[in-house]
Each structure stands twice: as C-alpha cells, then as structure tokens.
Amino acid sequence: MSVNADQFGPWAVVTGASSGIGREFARQLAAAGINVVLAARRLAMLQDLDAALAEHYGVDSRAVGVDLSDPGAPTLIADATADIDVGLLVSNAGAALPGPFLDSDLQAQRAILRLNTAAHLGLAHHFGERLARRGRGGIVLVSALGATHGVPGLANTAATKAYVASLGAGLHVELAKHGVHVTVLHPGPTRTPALAELGLHPDKMPIAPMAPEDCAGEALRALAHNRARCIPGRINRVSAALLPPAWSRWMMARILSRPASANATAE
C-alpha cells in the first residue's frame, strides 16, 4: 500500500471528492484504512461515496457540503474536523474556465482565482499548523501539468495552478523539519468530467488521458517518499522534461481552440 495509516491517518481530508481524481484519492485512502472527510459542493454525491466507502472498506467518513470558492470555506472545513486527528490533507478542489481571456466574465475569473488559490492557501495554513504540532502527516496540493509555462485559452486558470505549484514547493522545504510531507501533483489530461467541461473528447486527444486511479496512486506513492512534485504518467514526464515551453503553449492553443471552433460552427 502506498500510504500507511500510522503516518497519514487516522483521518484524511479530501476536497473536490465528489468525482474524478478527488473521488479516487478518497477511495485509495479508505482502502489503506484511513478515515476520510469528503468535501465538495455536491453533498448528495458525497453522501453516496460516504456509504460506499463504509460498505467496501469499513472506514468512517464525513461528508461536508461546501463551496470552496467561498472565502469562508476553509473555516467551515476546519470546524467540521476540529474533533478528529487529521494526518493528511489532499487539497484537490479546482475548476477551469476555458476560452479567450478577453471574452470571459471577470467575476467568473475571480471566482476561479479564489477557488484555485485562496482555498489551497487557507487549508494548507490551517492543516499545516495542525500537522506540524503532531510531528507527522502530509499535504497533497493539486496543480496541473504545464501550468507554469502559461496555457493559451486557459490563461487565468493556468496562472492559478502555477501559484499552487510554487506554494507547494516552498512548503515542501518549510514543513519537512516538522516531519510533514508535502507533494504537488501535476496531472496531465485525465479521464474525469473536467475533460468534457473543456470540450475535449478522450479518444480525440494526441495523448490518451490517464485513468484517475493511476493519477491518484502515483501521487500517494510520491507523498510517501516525500517527493516535492509528482508528474503522473511516463509520457507526461518525458514531455515535461523535453518539450520547450513555447511548443507546449502552441500545442495547447491548438487543442483548446478546436472545441471553440466547433461550438462556433454549431451556433
């Protein structure tokens, strides 16, 4: 098993747990015998997952319905976990707002900024303090592959993910002296509902998207070894190491422009 309950249990907090990579993090942690706090907007989906984890793995879990773009969300999660011993934070909740930057709604972009940066900041600060006091535990922050290079068609979203990458890299060093592991996950395209939200079809992409279980599994193994960053998937690691940032931006611009062109034609 990639994580052990003595170091990262008895409880873990997973945000964005209702679907995709977050849901898979919750499942794999439960399989390791770690109780899970599930946080996301869609409470009904969390409650279904809560029941499934109890049935299949015999762990306890809590469902916390919360909008992570709300400035008060970290406080709500802190209050909901004040009575339990949390050994791991998986700060996964995030969203994307694709399309030309100048055509986008500024208020919507600000909501993405809060969700993808301030929520991670608040949770990392709160649980970082708790984990430092107990002298062990871990934090996983979810960024994105290539975000630090800039992504045309996702300019603001990529910038928020770059913030997460920098925050996690700094905390990896700062919290190590307290016995706390910190890993930043940089997932590439993954078979989650987020692909459809970007207008992308898994079978029409130049590189086949990863399965969420592989993505979460590699991240937890990296956390166990206290690696500062995790790029899941060999192809993703090779492309990140070898492809120039300018080429990456050009490729992403082409990929993300296809849905927009198709939608414009349909309208």
- Please give the pLDDT value at position 149: 87
The residue segments making up the domain with residue 47 are 5-266
Q: How far apart are CA 224 and CA 12, in angstroms?
A: 14
- Please give the pLDDT value at position 263: 36
- Residues in the chain, how many? 267
- Mean pLDDT lowest among 1-10, 194-203, 246-255: 194-203
DSSP string, 151-175: -TT-HHHHHHHHHHHHHHHHHHHHT
Confidence of residue 147 (pLDDT cuts 50, 70, 90): confident
Q: What type of residue is 33?
A: G
CATH number reported for the structural domain that contains residue 22 in this entry: 3.40.50.720
Closest CA to 86 of 124, 55, 40, 45: 124
- Please give the pLDDT value at position 199: 66
Per-residue pLDDT tens over the stretch 158-178: 999 999 999 999 999 999 999
Locate 236 and state its tokens.
């993703």
Q: What type of residue is 48?
A: D
User: Between residues 262 and 76, which one has the greater pLDDT?
Assistant: 76
Q: Produce one character per residue of 228-241: b if its CB has 16 or more CB atoms within 10 Å, e if not.
A: bbbbbbeebbebbe
Provide, rounded to the nearest whole percent, the portion of the chain with pLDDT above 90: 74
Residue 202 has pLDDT above 80, yes or no: no
Mean pLDDT to the nearest integer, 230-249:
82
Residue 243 has pLDDT above 90, yes or no: no
Q: How far apart are CA 55 and CA 61, in angstroms?
A: 11
Q: How far apart are CA 6 and CA 28, in angstroms?
A: 15
Confidence of residue 191 (pLDDT cuts 50, 70, 90): confident
* Distance in angstroms between the alpha carbons of the first and the last residue of the chain: 50
CB atoms inside a 10 Å sphere around CB 35:
22
DSSP 230: E
Residue 259 has pLDDT above 60, yes or no: no
Q: What type of residue is 112?
A: I
**Mean residue pLDDT across the chain:** 90
Domains: count for the chain: 1
Q: What type of residue is 158?
A: A
CB atoms inside a 10 Å sphere around CB 38:
27
DSSP 101: G
Our measurement of the distance from residue 74's CA atom to the centroid of its chain's CA atoms, rounded to an integer in Å, reads 15
Confidence of residue 264 (pLDDT cuts 50, 70, 90): very low
Per-residue pLDDT tens over the stretch 32-78: 999 999 999 999 999 999 999 999 999 999 999 999 999 999 999 99
- Please give the pLDDT value at position 1: 52
Residue 214 has pLDDT above 90, yes or no: yes
The answer for 58, left when phi > 0, alpha when psi is -120 to 50, beta otherwise, is left
